[in-house]
Structure 1
Amino acid sequence: MYTMENLNINHQLTTFNRENSDQKHCWVCFGTDDDEFEGSRDWVSPCKCRGSTRWVHQICVQRWVDEKLKENSSIEAHCPQCNTKYIIVFKDVNYFVQLLNKIDKTSNQLCPFLAAGVVVSTLYWSAASYGAITVMQVMGEEEAISMMENTDPYLLLLMLPAIPLTLVLGKTIDWEETLLLMIQRFTSNLPFLRTIMPSFLCEPINRVNSNNPVQFNPVISPTTTLCAALLLPTTSTLVGNILFDSSSYSNFQKTLLGGLVYIAVKGVLRIYQRQHNAIKDKTRKVIDYPDSESEDGHQLNIL
């Protein structure tokens, strides 16, 4: 005859056995053996997990692996809990299919190098074409064609692509800053130059202390530098034709003189702009939060 104590013990044992039974639960779809499931009901234990995360439907884990490989096909599938690498096997295919697979794999490995070669070749021939057009623009079409015909072809293959490269590298040289510092150094050593030079050229660039000058360098994007460098021959030709429109100058001389004038004028304007911006930068300070107008009635210039 069962007592109440025996009934409680049996209930606890039944609960314990039910909780520790080999009931399978899929950690992907949360299905069990008792649930209806479309397709195969094959189970697999692909990792070191135990308990409720041990089992998973074969079709569920296959779908999960496909999703992971879709995100990054170069990674290997691992258990998200214990990080065990899944052991994935395939049915062997015939030798012809293996050959096709090797060809695809080799193609995938070689294509990046082939694409890089195409890009480099495109850049090279674009630079060579730009160089040839620049030579004809600077020297004149007839003189340029005659010169290139009388030049060794291999030398042309080296010289023509070097023209845009030289222009871009030359554009990166900050000669305005160097010239401005030289002017300020001479005016400090020779005070009488202050009576000749414009006052803004004599004003030293913003300094924290005498040993650490802080210079105003405007941020110029690489695309601006590239475009300015590549347009320099065209701009020089236009300025030369406008300012030196005379039969006494050759096309090359007009382009050279036009380029020098353009660079000089632009450099002077850049020095003027940069120095004044540097002087303005010296006046920078943080103030109390202002009203719409300052106390003296003047509008404040707030960045």
Structure 2
Amino acid sequence: MIHDCAFQQVGVGLRAPHLTLFAGMEAPQVGWLEVHSENYFNPESPARQTLRQIAERFPISCHGIGLSLGSADLLNHRHLTQLKHLVDDLQPMAVSDHLSWSSVNGQYLNDLLPIPYTEEALNLVCDKISQVQDTLGRQLLLENPSSYLSFRHADYTEWDFLSWVQQRTGCGLLLDLNNIYVSSFNHGFDCDTYLAAINPAAVKEIHLAGFTVKKLEQGEVWIDTHSRPVSEPVWQLYRNWVRQHGAVPTLIEWDLDIPPLEVLLGEADKARQILRDTEASHERRQA
């Protein structure tokens, strides 16, 4: 058992190419693992059975993409029931989903779409999160989105909207620093302004990932593809956050063009080193 605090704080996304590696007797050492909840909804599937074995050895976080919290549709109770069964089965360290929508009239889209930051949307999202938390009997973590367009009418900035949702529902926040960095370029806001508005006590998890730059005739857009190493500006945002607020469970996400596991673990090592350097700096100041 590894007791290094920095080691235990940093996890990686468990994706299909690495599932059997973590189920084996010589499983790689990581602090914790995150899975996409919907991939394991079938309790009789081989994947669910393998995940049960892995959960006996590693803390698991369940990260969903299907609650569609910003949709005008009612909550999909079949989806929510399946999520509850998964959570009851695994007893994960955290359960999370996104501030976005992906369904309309019962039809699901293969994307996490932005919502208008209006009073009406705030009431809708808060109501759904409260329903989810009541059903699960535990706190839900809400992840800030990446986005590529914004609505002309808004009553709130994204960071104020997120803060109000957290205050009204008591949900936790999953702070995705890559999403903030990508959206800051796409929409022209300042990352420090965004982060200064976030209550650090509400942040229960941090995501780090890579993005892709796409050049169009109209200009350049940054896309949160999770297909590259974490960029240096995002590492710097992470350094600044942990220096100011301390460590929270941190995940390295990599969902497309998934590399050999050694590359993913190397990114996790970078996060651990930042945590160790920050802790050492704090101890020197206290000496």
- Output the TM-score relative to the length of structure 1: 0.16
Q: Which is helix-richer, 1 or 2?
A: 1
TM-score normalised to the size of structure 2? 0.17
- Which structure: greater strand fraction? 2
